[in-house]
Structure 1
Amino acid sequence: MAASVEQLLSSLSGVEEPIEELRSLKTATLALPLSTLAERLPALRLEVIFRLMASPDREQVDRCVAILERFLQALEPIHIAQTYKEDLQRGLYHPDDSVKLLSISQVGRIVESSEAITEILNNQELLKQIIMCIGGDKISVAKEAIKSLSKISQSTSGLDVLFGSNLLASLKAVMAVSDVVRYRVYELVVEISSMSAESLSFCANSGILSQLLDELSGADVLVRVTCTEMITALAVTHHGRQYLAQQGIIDRMSNMILGADSDPFSGFYLPGLVKFFGNLAVMDSPQQICEHYPAFLQKVFDMAEGHETTMIGVAVDTLGIMGSTVEGKQVLQKTGPRFNNVFKRIGHHAKNAATELRVRCLDSITSLLSLPEDHHTEDLLAMSESWFSCLSNQPMDLFRSIATQPFPELHCSALKVFIAIANQSWAQKQMIESPGFIEYIVDRTVDPDKDSKDIKFELVKALVNSKTIAEVFGNQHYLRLRAYLRDGPYYVKAISTVAVEGAE
């Protein structure tokens, strides 16, 4: 088979209509294991395939691309760089996007190799053309170009080439193509900035990062939305957050929240701002963020108590994120009756809202009520119990009723609430005092699907593993739960039947 590949390659030379030969070669190459191809390929010459790929015939191009993808996959990056670099560069000018994708993806492979990357870094024209591909109509080509340039920027030498040469002018030139392309470049710069403090420094010195931050104050509300999303991505890293704070961006975003009430278009960008500060609180310190930017938490409460479904959902999600840490719970507890009122509203929505919002409310409640056993102090347990009582007049009945509904997403989300409180003694007392609760837990027949059975099993496991469960539940109920855990979530009790002679 390996010999036939060599023969088929040779047979392509001088053929005017090579479609059938290409079909046969494609079949042969796909039939060979990559390891076999890798052994044979260094001795083969692929220039004929690259030459035939320059054809305007779409079918011929497609077959050449498929063959080269397979061949090049079997070659080491250093061999591709030294042997086919010019062919790849020509592919970047090809009118067919599949050829551009092939060339850019191979460049991406090359720059991942420490011994091959210099072959690309020393070729400014090739890199310039990849930058120009960011401005193309085909989003897949632009994304692949961004991906390869991002890989190049993972080394200091790559950063030097991209931001310390004429390529920076090419980046800025392609930004002028359109708003869409400008934001593709911003996406690249944010991705590079997130890699390290050094890469952020290069991006900041280029002027592109500050241009992105300036757009936060622009007149176009949709631009502000996109800008907020990108700044949120930058804030994921510690050095990114430090830079944003130094540039006064976090203060500016806080002021945007303060001024939201007087801006009729704030509904577009306000969710993004709230998500930004919610993530910031979890990554740094909930107490610090809420003390420095009090407008954030007040706005979250306002949104949760409002009537706009989209805003309620964002507020509920944000409170769930904040309340995922003990410090975040304590910050919320310090607001006193205000948070209790908000939590009561969340309980109302969990019962009465549309399904999607109900699920989001249940997930948030789960996050807020969960408490690791190493934090079972008297104060925190009392806090958790008081929050639970805010949700409804009969919160145990509320979640029981949701858990028995035939909608899987609601059913499972309600069971997760029980899992969140299963290790807390006050909740165990309420469970044992709730008529029929233990019978419901150990009844496998009420769980309609695999996910429901798995969630119920996790609830039983959480109860059994609790330090206080035997004391609160008593031996009889505790042993029933242990038996359920031992038998597993899918156990079916065998039913024996006795045949009686003469019975119909």
Structure 2
Amino acid sequence: MAASIESLLEEISSIEDPIEELQNLKTALLSIPLSTLRNVVSGQRLDAIFSLLYTNEREQTELCVAILSRILLALSPLHLAQNLPSELVAGLVHPDKTVKILALTQISRMMEHPEAVTEILKNHDVVREVIHCIKSEEISVAKEAIGSLSKLSHSKAGLDALFRSDLLNEIKRVMAAGDILRYRVYELVVGISSGSAISLGYCANSNILSQLLDELTGNDILIRATAIEMVTTLAHSKHGRQYLAQQGAMDKISNLIRGAETDSFSTLYLPGLVKFFGTLAIMESPQQICEHYPAFQNKVFEMALDPDPVMTGVALDTLGLLGSNVEGKQVLHKTGGKFKAVLFRMSQLASTGATEMRVRCLEAIAQLISLQAEQQTEDLLALTESWFLLLTDHPMEMIRNISTQPFPELHCAALNIFAAIAPQPWGQRLMITTPGFMEFVVDRSSGKTKEAKDAKFELVGALVSSARPADMLGSQNYLRLKTYLREGPYYVLAVATVATEGAD
């Protein structure tokens, strides 16, 4: 087989219509393992295959891409960097997107190899053309280029090349070519900045990050909304948050929230502002964020009561995020009547809203009333119980009714609420005193999907693993739950078929 691959590679350049031979070569290449293929092709010239990429025949291009994908994967990144840089550059400027992606995929492999990167950086042509690929009309090509450059930034030599050489001017020229391209570069730079404090320093010194922050207060509302998303991504890292604080970004965004009331277009960017502070709160301290930026907390409550489903949905997600830890629960509790009004609104939406909104409500409720075993102090247990009982006069019946409706996502979300209260003594008391509830828990006929069976299994597990479950639930219920747990989530009771004499 190796001999046939070598002969096909040698002969293919002299054939006028190479489709059949290319197909044979593709089949031969796929029939042997990469380790063997490496020895076969490492010394072969690939000029003929690369030259055949330049054709109007779509099938020929596809075959060449498939062949080169296999061959190049068999070769080491260092071999590619040393022997095929011009071919890869040619691939980057090829009009066909599959050829561009082929070249970018191989360059990404090289970016992850220390010796190959050193070889590439001796000549900036490869990296320069990768930067130009960010301008591609094909988003898949641009994404691949951004990913490749992000990998280059993992080394000091790569950071130096991108931000301390003529390549930085190439990046800025791409930015200047239009709004979409500018935001692709922001995506690249924010991704690099998130990697480490050192990489953020390079990006900050390039002035690209400060340009991004200036977009927050620009006149173009759509650009502002996109900038907020980028800044929120940066806030996920500790060094990113420190940088944003130093630059006064938090105050800038808080002022935007305050000014949103007088801006008729604020609905386009307000959800992003709230998500930003929600991210800060969960990453840092809910109490500090809500105290330092009261406009954020007030806006979340306002949005939760807003008739606009977009605003309501973002508020629900944010409240769930805030209430997922103890400090956040305490912050919400201090608001008193404001939060009670929101809980009532959540109950209404969970019962009668659109399916997606109902699911988001249920998920937020589950986060708000959850407590880990080590968090179950008397005060916190009283808090989560009071919130659950504020939902409606009969919250157990409401949630169980939702779980029986023919929408798998609602069924699972409702079960997750029961799983949230299952480890808490008050939750178990409600379950025991609700007629038919324990039978509902061990009933395997409800919920046919895998997700539903998994959610029910989680509920059973939460009950069994709680403190002193036999005392709380009763020994008979405890044994039934243990049996359910032992049998697993997908257990099906076998039913014997009895044949009667004379039956067909």
Deviations 1:301-335 (A, max 9, x none): 01111211111111001001111111111111111
Name the count of aligned residue pairs: 504
State the partner residue of 1:390.
Answer: 390
What's the offset of the Cα at 1:144? 1.3
How far apart, in 1, do the equivalents of 2:437 and 2:25 lie? 68
* Consecutive unaligned residues in structure 2, runs of 5 or more: none
Q: Which moved more, 1:89-98 or 1:424-433?
A: 89-98
How far apart, in 2, do the equivalents of 1:490 and 1:26 lie? 44
How far apart, in 1, do the equivalents of 2:160 and 2:499 lie? 86
How far apart, in 2, do the equivalents of 1:126 and 1:503 lie? 78
Q: Give the counterpart letter for 2:433 in structure 1.
A: E
Deviations 1:90-123 (A, max 9, x none): 2222222222222222111112111111111121
SS at match of 2:191: helix
1:311 aligns with 2:311: yes
How far apart, in 2, do the equivalents of 1:239 and 1:177 lie? 30
Q: Give the counterpart letter for 1:52 in structure 2.
A: L
How far apart, in 1, do the equivalents of 2:483 and 2:283 lie? 41
What's the offset of the Cα at 1:500? 8.2
State the partner residue of 1:375.
Answer: 375
State the partner residue of 1:428.
Answer: 428
1:171 aligns with 2:171: yes
Q: Which moved more, 1:456-465 or 1:440-449?
A: 440-449
What's the offset of the Cα at 1:495? 5.3
State the partner residue of 2:281.
Answer: 281
Q: Give the counterpart letter for 1:20 in structure 2.
A: E
How far apart, in 2, do the equivalents of 1:160 and 1:233 lie? 24
Q: Give the counterpart letter for 1:175 in structure 2.
A: M
Q: Give the counterpart letter for 2:32 in structure 1.
A: L
1:201 aligns with 2:219: no
How far apart, in 2, do the equivalents of 1:499 and 1:347 lie? 52
Q: Which moved more, 1:351-360 or 1:60-69?
A: 60-69
Q: Give the counterpart letter for 2:386 in structure 1.
A: S
How far apart, in 2, do the equivalents of 1:449 and 1:336 lie? 40
Q: Give the counterpart letter for 1:383 in structure 2.
A: L
Q: How does 1:263-412 map to 2 (within 5 A)?
A: 263-412=263-412
Q: 1:302 to 1:122 in 2, by over 3 A?
A: same
SS at match of 1:43: coil
Q: Which moved more, 1:249-258 or 1:458-467?
A: 458-467
State the partner residue of 2:60.
Answer: 60
How far apart, in 2, do the equivalents of 1:496 and 1:12 lie? 66
Q: 1:20 to 1:477 in 2, by over 3 A?
A: closer
State the partner residue of 1:137.
Answer: 137
How far apart, in 1, do the equivalents of 2:241 and 2:457 lie? 41
CA contact (8 A) 1:215 1:224 kept: yes
State the partner residue of 1:461.
Answer: 461
What's the offset of the Cα at 1:56? 4.5
How far apart, in 2, do the equivalents of 1:184 and 1:500 lie? 73
SS at match of 1:444: coil
SS at match of 2:361: helix
Q: Give the counterpart letter for 2:405 in structure 1.
A: Q
Q: 1:230 to 1:497 in 2, by over 3 A?
A: closer
1:236 aligns with 2:236: yes
Q: Which moved more, 1:14-23 or 1:219-228?
A: 14-23
How far apart, in 2, do the equivalents of 1:186 and 1:236 lie? 16
Q: 1:257 to 1:40 in 2, by over 3 A?
A: same
Q: Give the counterpart letter for 1:368 in structure 2.
A: L
How far apart, in 2, do the equivalents of 1:31 and 1:178 lie? 47
CA contact (8 A) 1:425 1:468 kept: no
What's the offset of the Cα at 1:20? 2.9
CA contact (8 A) 2:110 2:116 kept: yes
Q: Which moved more, 1:252-261 or 1:53-62?
A: 53-62
TM-score by length of 1: 0.96
Q: How does 1:32-43 map to 2 (within 5 A)?
A: 32-43=32-43
CA contact (8 A) 2:108 2:148 kept: yes
State the partner residue of 1:225.
Answer: 225
CA contact (8 A) 1:425 1:469 kept: no
Q: Percent identity?
A: 58
How far apart, in 2, do the equivalents of 1:192 and 1:18 lie? 44
How far apart, in 1, do the equivalents of 2:165 and 2:398 lie? 64
What's the offset of the Cα at 1:503? 11
Deviations 1:323-364 (A, max 9, x none): 111111111111122112211211111111111100000000
What's the offset of the Cα at 1:501? 8.1
What's the offset of the Cα at 1:43? 2.1
State the partner residue of 2:479.
Answer: 479
Deviations 1:109-139 (A, max 9, x none): 1121111111111211222122111112221
SS at match of 1:333: helix
What's the offset of the Cα at 1:497? 7.7
Deviations 1:139-160 (A, max 9, x none): 1211111111111111111111
How far apart, in 2, do the equivalents of 1:156 and 1:109 lie? 17
What's the offset of the Cα at 1:190? 0.7
Q: Which moved more, 1:406-415 or 1:98-107?
A: 98-107
How far apart, in 2, do the equivalents of 1:72 and 1:35 lie? 12
State the partner residue of 2:248.
Answer: 248
What's the offset of the Cα at 1:440? 1.4
Q: Give the counterpart letter for 2:372 in structure 1.
A: P
What's the offset of the Cα at 1:498? 7.4
State the partner residue of 1:47.
Answer: 47
Q: Which moved more, 1:442-451 or 1:267-276?
A: 442-451
How far apart, in 2, do the equivalents of 1:438 and 1:16 lie? 77
How far apart, in 1, do the equivalents of 2:450 and 2:249 lie? 47
CA contact (8 A) 2:408 2:447 kept: no
Q: Give the counterpart letter for 1:265 in structure 2.
A: F
How far apart, in 1, do the equivalents of 2:431 and 2:477 lie? 11
How far apart, in 1, do the equivalents of 2:261 and 2:340 lie? 24
What's the offset of the Cα at 1:478? 2.2
State the partner residue of 1:440.
Answer: 440
Deviations 1:272-312 (A, max 9, x none): 11111111111111111111111111100011112111111
Q: 1:4 to 1:498 in 2, by over 3 A?
A: closer
Deviations 1:197-243 (A, max 9, x none): 11111111111111111111111110011001111111110000110
State the partner residue of 1:158.
Answer: 158
Q: 1:29 to 1:503 in 2, by over 3 A?
A: closer
CA contact (8 A) 1:134 1:141 kept: yes
How far apart, in 1, do the equivalents of 2:380 and 2:123 lie? 62
How far apart, in 2, do the equivalents of 1:476 and 1:280 lie? 47
How far apart, in 2, do the equivalents of 1:265 and 1:286 lie? 28
SS at match of 2:84: helix
Deviations 1:350-409 (A, max 9, x none): 111111100000000011111001111000000011101110011111111111222211
What's the offset of the Cα at 1:251? 0.7
SS at match of 2:14: coil
Give 4+ residue runs of structure 1 displaced > 4 Å after superposition: 492-504
1:23 aligns with 2:19: no
SS at match of 1:470: helix
1:103 aligns with 2:109: no
1:3 aligns with 2:3: yes
CA contact (8 A) 2:313 2:357 kept: yes
How far apart, in 1, do the equivalents of 2:332 and 2:92 lie? 55
Q: Give the counterpart letter for 2:418 in structure 1.
A: F
Q: 1:108 to 1:498 in 2, by over 3 A?
A: closer
Q: Give the counterpart letter for 2:33 in structure 1.
A: P
How far apart, in 2, do the equivalents of 1:89 and 1:391 lie? 62
How far apart, in 2, do the equivalents of 1:452 and 1:282 lie? 29
